[in-house]
Amino acid sequence: MSEEAHQLVYLVVLDRHKQVLVNRCGASESLPTVEIPRFTRLAHSVTDVARDKYGIDLFLILSARVEGEGRTGALTAICRFQNDSLDAPASFNWVTPEQARAQLSIEDRQVLVEGLHEFESYDSGERPSSFGRYRGLDELRDWYTSQLSTLGLREVSFKQWNGDPWFALFRIGVEPIGEATPETPAALWFKAVGEPNVREFAITQLLTAQCPWWFSKVVATKPEVNGWLAEEVNGHELDVEPDGRPWALTARILAKVQTVFTNCEDKLLDLGCADWRIPRILESIDPFFESMIEVAARQPSSPPAMLSRAELRDIAQGCRDLCHQVEDVDIPYSIAHGDFSPHNVIVKNGWPILIDWAEAYVAFPFISWEFFWNRTIKDHPSHAEWRERMHRNYAYRSWTSLLGRSRVDAGLRLSPAVAVLIHALQGQANPANQDTSPMLDKVNRSLLRRLQRELELLQPVGVL
């Protein structure tokens, strides 16, 4: 496996007595390990590879970065068996942490000590969490088993996608306790969120309550962990849909959802939607461009030509002018999805169902269309014949009756530049992005040049 494409994960697998699973190899013992593709869902990849390699079904409780020379990029995954009544496979032993520390290599011993220290801080309650304790899965299972029973269902399979002390995502395969009906789902999904995405819990409930035709059905909620249980949408991502009709329907449904929530700013903000209205954007412009002076100066080579301070000042002023133009058009604020793409849509029997609204904003609503439109153009250039119908469905079949054709056209003309600006500002505001890594610098410089181009396209002909 390529070192760049994969990463090593040490598995610290615990049983209910907090014994450690070690792999026997002749006279020596070691922690089990897996190699997984980078940039994939950690829990999904770790549990899949562990099942294939060792024949064990794991639940990932939390993960930690492995410290130490020569182990850059390695992770420790603190896990347990999904069913903790099962015995260890023949090639493994359960040993106490003390025995493991005495028997393992220096490297594995350090991984174990660091991993157990991280786990025990959560399991003891010293650090609060929703799912960082060994018993977290058992408590969740007790809760959702009761919910399934009420629905006349029982669990037949379990597959984890995400897992850490605050977030969870897993699929529960089900079957009817009695006779199946056409409405019996094949599976339900449990999702729970922590900071910075706590907003998704309340927003999901609002969207599914007010627009039930366009979202997956939520059948139960667990507020103490910001979690909900929803029926699986038996379909496929819009991204692989070969027919243009669901793409056009998605554009129309997006507009319909947004028109439902116009003039609901306070309600949406109270639920935790990020505030990207024009006043917030205007107050963010100067700090953003101050930080971009250093980002531009760190450009290691050219081409492209380095953006000068004068150019950055011009772009900043163009952004202020853009904001005032948006205010003049007076498009009402609504809910906006800050990363809307064909991957946020499941097609069932030709009908789009919207999912995953963690990036929910109160903002100039047309930015969501812009994100969707751009992803479609980028990823599906061969489907140009769909675009006119998509554009018509989003722009005119819902918004025109509310705003009139001229305001819609004016707003859509401004939306490419507004979308790039909000994307850039949001990235800079994200605490996870507060570093000076070469990759993040490169992304920011690319966004600045894109913003410069979009602003130039808004200039009247003959104006420099």
User: Which CATH number does the domain housing residue 32 bear?
Assistant: 3.90.79.10
Residue among 145, 140, 207 nearest 167 (CA): 140
**Whether 78 and 166 share a structural domain:** no
Q: What is the pLDDT of residues 200-253, one digit of tens each?
A: 999 999 999 999 999 999 999 999 999 999 999 999 999 999 999 999 999 999
**Cα–Cα distance, 342 to 309 (Å, whole number):** 37
Q: What is the pLDDT of residues 428-450, one digit of tens each?
A: 766 565 556 788 899 999 999 99
- Residue 1 inside a domain? The answer is no
**Whether 276 and 340 share a structural domain:** yes
Residue among 8, 157, 164 nearest 76 (CA): 8
Evaluate if residue 1 carries a pLDDT over 80: no
**Whether 104 and 148 share a structural domain:** no
**Whether 286 and 375 share a structural domain:** yes
**Whether 27 and 165 share a structural domain:** no
**Whether 19 and 107 share a structural domain:** yes
**Whether 358 and 435 share a structural domain:** yes
pLDDT at residue 181, rounded to an integer = 82
**Whether 157 and 92 share a structural domain:** no
- Residue 462 inside a domain? The answer is no
- Residue 357 inside a domain? The answer is yes
Residue with the two structure tokens 């269309």: 369
Q: Among residues 96, 123, 150, which one ends one of the domains?
A: 123
Please report which confidence band the pLDDT of residue 395 belongs to, taking 50, 70 and 90 as the band edges: very high
Residue among 251, 192, 219 nearest 371 (CA): 251
Q: Please answer whether residues 393 and 373 qualify as being in contact, where contact means their C-beta atoms are separated by less than 8 angstroms.
A: no
Q: Please answer whether residues 398 and 365 qualify as being in contact, where contact means their C-beta atoms are separated by less than 8 angstroms.
A: no
**Whether 157 and 247 share a structural domain:** no
pLDDT at residue 70, rounded to an integer = 55
**Whether 402 and 320 share a structural domain:** yes
- Residue 93 inside a domain? The answer is yes
Please report which confidence band the pLDDT of residue 87 belongs to, taking 50, 70 and 90 as the band edges: confident
Q: Among residues 84, 101, 123, which one ends one of the domains?
A: 123
**Cα–Cα distance, 19 to 99 (Å, whole number):** 9
**Cα–Cα distance, 383 to 396 (Å, whole number):** 21
**Whether 288 and 404 share a structural domain:** yes
- Residue 130 inside a domain? The answer is no
User: What total number of domains does the chain contain?
Assistant: 3
- Residue 381 inside a domain? The answer is yes
pLDDT at residue 73, rounded to an integer = 66
Q: Among residues 123, 155, 173, which one ends one of the domains?
A: 123
**Whether 65 and 168 share a structural domain:** no
What is the rounded average pLDDT of the residues 37-42?
Answer: 90
Strands 6-14 and 33-37: antiparallel
Please report which confidence band the pLDDT of residue 462 belongs to, taking 50, 70 and 90 as the band edges: very low
Residue among 83, 115, 76, 77 nearest 97 (CA): 115
User: Which CATH number does the domain housing residue 151 bear?
Assistant: 3.30.200
Q: Cα 423 vs. chain centroid, distance in angstroms?
A: 15
Sequence-distant contacts of 388-393: CB under 8 A, at least 24 apart? 389/244, 389/248, 390/244, 390/247, 390/248, 390/250, 390/251, 391/251, 392/248, 393/248, 393/249, 393/251, 393/252, 393/255
Show the domain range for 177.
Answer: 136-231
- Residue 464 inside a domain? The answer is no
pLDDT at residue 328, rounded to an integer = 97
Enter the tokens of residue 197. 């995405």
Evaluate if residue 84 carries a pLDDT over 70: yes
Q: Please answer whether residues 322 and 455 qualify as being in contact, where contact means their C-beta atoms are separated by less than 8 angstroms.
A: yes
- Residue 128 inside a domain? The answer is no
Enter the tokens of residue 362. 């109160």
Evaluate if residue 383 carries a pLDDT over 90: no
Percent of the chain with pLDDT over 90: 81
Q: What is the pLDDT of residues 175-211, one digit of tens each?
A: 999 888 888 899 999 999 999 899 999 999 999 999 9
User: Which CATH number does the domain housing residue 430 bear?
Assistant: 3.90.1200.10
Residue at 260: amino acid letter: V
Please report which confidence band the pLDDT of residue 25 belongs to, taking 50, 70 and 90 as the band edges: confident
pLDDT at residue 146, rounded to an integer = 97
